[in-house]
Structure 1
């Protein structure tokens, strides 16, 4: 005798389907097999002893075939349920068992691709109904199917086309959001397809506005590995060589830092695709976003400047000019300091001079006067960072100069004179 699938039996399938579909990344196969187990067990509901009055209990094995890329997630989700799971007063799900079989379930959908998604939207002169909020409603599915047919017909001829599909509907009158996926983006071809689409979609509803398109880059804004405070930092926006995106001439751009449009005069946009940050400070670290207005396309890219990429610049302290009473053979002490974690050394040209440690992060060098003509320059350089150095100029005199004693780091306007 054939088995009749009751509404209670279907409830079991509904439970299993719900459990599985909630895990995501799964596609339900078309086959569903219900098998009847005729080895009925008869139990007393409380003592589990066999009753004298026969009570037939049927066990059904529901085989549901699914395709998933994350088996561990599926197993863990199913483990969270307590079994037996009660569906009604007469139905329990005793257990769920997972087996893997990679041959029985034929895939009927396109495998995940690594194409470029161009997100688009167009506004149609059509009344928006609440059913369009529900992707399972018949009204949504009907409109989705109509538009998908037009999308495929109009975009399938562009180079590298993979697929085109509706992603949702919004109010105003109806805004259609859809995606065109391909292995490359040629905006000349895309613009032609957009025009053909707006002409063809009138079979569904008249078009109010032209197609707008945007692509979110899979690459990041180019940022320097490190920048010191007080320096300038340049960020570069645009598709890299592997993205195969031609956005055409750029007519404008918007740059944002931490989701706020950049308005400060310290920031300068150059050729739309470059951002120069002048006199960098630690607060310039954060998430940057650029929006380039290309030919019929908005190109969006993000990038992060981490806190560690902006470093506090070395602050070298020394006496920049010293007037010294000249006596051959005598020494003039020179001191140079810098904040941690940096270290400094004295140089005469490219020659490293022997220095001694003084107070914390300071060094001294005893400069020996060898002649009394003219002046002499020595350099204090940071060891860890190229380009950070300061100069001390020693000017020698022998007589006739009146001056007063100066303090540490007294600068150019005070003299260090012989008593």
Structure 2
């Protein structure tokens, strides 16, 4: 398809024009340029500045500041396990980056030289015949010198070079952050103070010069121990093993158990067990049997406190506390069974008495009713005699006697009612 074809649209025509322009551009000789020493040094300086800028954006110090920091804290870093320094890594990273840049620049220069040689060969072809005839070596040398002149570097090449330098700077900064700038390698003043306190604690503990209260101080130091460096923790565990026979973690577990024991000693139930065992000989049978109810409390104690209770129990009773609980439990069960039987017997006896009392009460109630009816009859006789003017002395005497009998019966009825109520309650 030709761009002069009238059937093509404007877009296709523009595309063909662009392609023609691109082909013409390819036919033009390439402009090449070899980086001078000054430009090379400037590129290296740019890479170093880019690396420092990247480090600042990440919140890190520049290479020069890191080197100064290392010199100021050189003594603190002697115990570091790594066998490399900040300056050596930075130097290796800088050298490697520069070497890579140099190699890339050299490759670019070699490629430019090769392109120039191709162009030169094309230019030399029509002149080779004349050179053969005239045999002028001096003129040939001058032509070679003229060929070696370099042309300015393209803008695109410079941009590519800058991108490469920035990439190397970022890679160097990342490598430094991972390999060198590690806070785990620096011991702070607080960490060193904690380390010294733990060493002092291990020394005193190993000499058996500490009270229980002083031993419990390790619980307060544990929070600071968790903030130590890994290498410090390893060293502390080894030192505790030498001085106390246990590592830091193992001893801390024992101290936590000691703290728990101290807290359990304050429990009222534990004090009740101890008080009962201390006064065992003077306790009554009922008080001794109360030990059976303390078995759940004993089971909830820690092993150390159980051992203390067993030691005290053997000294006072000749038995372990758990065996003492079983013994007193059996005695208590037997006593309760005996009490139950006695209660049942007493209840049966009471029921028997209630029946007897109820029988007597019923009889008295019948007698009382009989005398009450007789009293009404006497009252009628007395009223009749008084109306007719008869002598009432004899009738009045009978009434008084009957009233005394009723009063006696009432007292007896009240007595039996009280007895029945007491036996049924």
Instruction: Decide: shared fold, TM above 0.5.
Output: no
TM-score normalised by structure 1 residue count: 0.20
Higher strand share: 1
**Structure showing greater Rg:** 2
- Relative contact order higher in (CA < 8 Å, ≥ 6 apart): 2
TM-score normalised by structure 2 residue count: 0.20
